[in-house]
Structure 1
Amino acid sequence: MPDTRSIRPGAVDPLGGTYRRLAARCPSLQAELTTTHGPADAPGRHWVPMAEPALHRDRLIADEATRILAGHDCSPREHVAASRLLHHYLWSVCLLVSGPWYLERRVPRIRPEDVWIDSVGGGLALRPGGFACLPDDPAAGLPGARVLAGEDELRAELRAVVADHVGPVLAAFQGPMKRGPRALRGMVTDDLVSGIWYLGRMLGEEEAAVAAATALLPGDTPPFPGAAAFRTLPGTDGRPHLTRTRLGCCLYYAVRPAESCLTCPRTGDAERVRRLELPVP
């Protein structure tokens, strides 16, 4: 899972207010907004532009391996470190796009050149730009706004923004990851759905978020393979639990063998129910 740190939004409007709301509800989102010139390095930080991910890939993977060793006393193989780093990046970027859409029906246009990653700490910095919105949005007349006709068009815009952004990133990581294009696109599907689901749980409206993710990714929406594909598990006390199974594995089990993800293909339904019903500490 991503590290638990907060986004630190600056005075950037109209998306600044939206990201403040996102930050308040998503403590696992490790990101901050930055100015036109990008973030500045500081002690313990080195910002790497994602405009050319292939150029910095090896450095980023090596630094991720260092973080895993420090945090989990595990020296990961290259493809494991690459998978963990890519999962963190995709989850974060997808939530930076889908969060404003879910909260305020605004889809930011986030290009690779608008994102930096801290190779030391793993956090992201985002330079906000234009966005798409609906005709009744109060921000529809502001500079940078592109007005779309309705919800279907806005969902299509969200999918297009994510697909465009991750294309060069997936191409850069395909070699070290040892996975084909479809498997990598499956990771994007998983992390896009996961971010919306997480936000819904943080808002106390899990079912609404599941419905939104299902409408966004119902299946047959290339280049995203698969669908949100939520299902319900009966609990031991009769209370149902929502779950889904990831299209692919993010290799968290290779770092913590006893703690596979709750939605991992390796985790059976009985184990999911057992963990979902554990008392909250």
Structure 2
Amino acid sequence: MTVPTRVTARDATTPLSESLTRAASLATGFEVRFGLPADPVERAGWTTCAEFTAEPARFDAWRGSLAEWLREQYGEAPERTTAGYVMSWYLNVVGVLGGVLFHMARRVPSLRPQDVAIKVAGQGRPHTMGVALLTDDFACLPDDPAGNHPAATVVADEGALAALLRARFAAHSAAFVAAFGPTVRLGRRMLWAAATDALDSAAWTAGQMCGDESSGVVDASLLLPAKLEPFTSASTLRATETGWTRRRESCCFHYVLPGTEACGTCPRVR
């Protein structure tokens, strides 16, 4: 999934806000920011991931809004499709937050549910429109110019940094699986397959944003060098005659909608 990004920083003096600000001119359409808006009107639509995981009924409400939109567009709203969409949307934005900072700055933010918020569109298609980081804490490499910052934790090398991002994303995904899983009829493997897709796509997306897709693919191989539990596969990115692509591990169940077909990268397609 390619996510166009617009970055707004709460405080341009913190290392992570500086990292995100450097990405601000790359694209538009999806907001990544520090902190939540102070204005109550602008705050509408933002929900912390901790609120989602603590109150799974919020996922039901989100899927309900999506079902209304799908009925308007397709005449039907299969339960599998609303579950698949929300599953992918949620995990992808959390993955992109980690992947962008890892790729662009070799920095890994906290991804705890209480440290991340997402914005869902309030009208029309209720897709994710933004992600916010709520803490300045980060891990970095020994040569990072901000390595002596109070919010920084220095790790040994790129392999250790990639492993930390993988672990932090896995911990957030586990909280999501525990909260979202009982509300839908998707198996545990499907939920972890979606988490695998989100992590594998995160660095690839960042590389595309920076105009160096191949370097994003290399980063994806750092994050998923092999099938590492609880993820369901190593990176599936591969080169083709027309460019890079990947085989998805999970299904969004878009094909269940009337008049549609499975995506070309869907695991249901050989």
- Give how far 1:195 is off: 2.2
Deviates most, 105-114 or 51-60: 51-60
Higher relative contact order (CA 8 A, sep 6+): 2
Query: Could you say which residue in structure 1 is the equivalent of 2:137?
Result: 130
Once residues 64 and 81 of structure 2 are traced to their aligned partners in structure 1, the CA distance between those partners, rounded to angstroms, is 8
Structure 2 equivalent of residue 155 of structure 1: 162
Query: Cα distance 1:45–1:120, how it changes in 2: closer, same or farther (>3 A)?
Result: farther
What is the match of residue 10 of structure 1? 10
The gaps in structure 1 that reach 5 residues or longer are 235-239, 269-281
Q: What letter corresponds to residue 105 of structure 1 in structure 2?
A: R
- Cross-structure match for 1:48: 47
Structure 1 runs (4+) greater than 6 angstroms displaced: 1-5
How many Å apart are 1:7 and its aligned residue? 4.0
1:171 aligns with 2:171: no
Q: For 1:256 and 1:132, how far apart are their aligned partners in 2?
A: 46
Residue equivalent to 2:73: 73
Aligned partners of 1:3 and 1:30 also within 8 Å: no
Contact 2:101 2:107 survives alignment (8 Å): yes
* Secondary structure, aligned partner of 1:227: coil
Tell me what 2:187 maps to. Answer: 180
What is the rounded CA distance, in whole Å, between the counterparts of 2:258 and 2:92 in structure 1? 19
Structure-2 change in CA distance of 1:267 and 1:10 (3 Å): farther
Measured in 1, the distance between the counterparts of 2:109 and 2:42 equals 30
Identity of counterpart residues, as a percentage? 33
Residue 117 of structure 1 aligns to which amino acid in structure 2? I
Length, aligned pairs only: 261
Q: 1:142 to 1:81 in 2, by over 3 A?
A: same
Q: Whole-Å Cα distance in 1 between the matches of residues 30 and 200 of structure 2?
A: 15
Partner of 1:261: 263
| Higher mean C-alpha displacement, 195-204 vs 58-67 | 58-67
Within 2, Cα distance between the matches of 1:102 and 1:3? 14
Q: For the residues of structure 2 that align with 1:145 and 1:44, how far apart are their CA atoms?
A: 28
2:112 is aligned to 111
Letter in 2 for 1:106: R
C-alpha RMSD of matched pairs (Å): 2.8
1:45·1:119 contact (CA, 8 Å) conserved in 2?
Answer: no
Tell me which amino acid in the other structure corresponds to 1:81. Answer: T
Q: CA–CA distance in 2 between the matches of 1:41 and 1:256?
A: 39
Measure, in 2, the Cα distance between the counterparts of 1:29 and 1:104: 19
Normalising by structure 1, we get a TM-score of 0.80
Q: What is the rounded CA distance, in whole Å, between the counterparts of 1:195 and 1:23 in structure 2?
A: 17
Work out the CA distance in 2 between the residues paired with 1:28 and 1:225. 30
Q: Distance in 1 between matches of 2:32 and 2:59?
A: 16
Q: Which residue number in structure 2 is paired with residue 246 of structure 1?
A: 248
CA distance in 1, matches of 2:81, 2:104: 33
In the TM superposition, residue 52 of structure 1 has moved relative to its aligned partner by 4.3
Q: Decide whether aligned partners of structure 1 residues 15 and 54 sit closer, same or farther in structure 2, where only a CA change above 3 A counts.
A: closer
State whether residues 68 and 76 of structure 1, in contact with CA within 8 Å, keep that contact through their aligned partners in structure 2. yes
Preserved CA contact (<8 Å) 2:104 2:206: no
Q: Hey, what's the Cα distance between the residues in 1 that align with 2:53 and 2:107?
A: 30
> What residue number does 1:214 align with?
221
Distance (Å, rounded) in 2 between the aligned partners of 1:213 and 1:256: 34
User: Which stretch shows the higher mean deviation, 2-11 or 241-250?
Assistant: 2-11
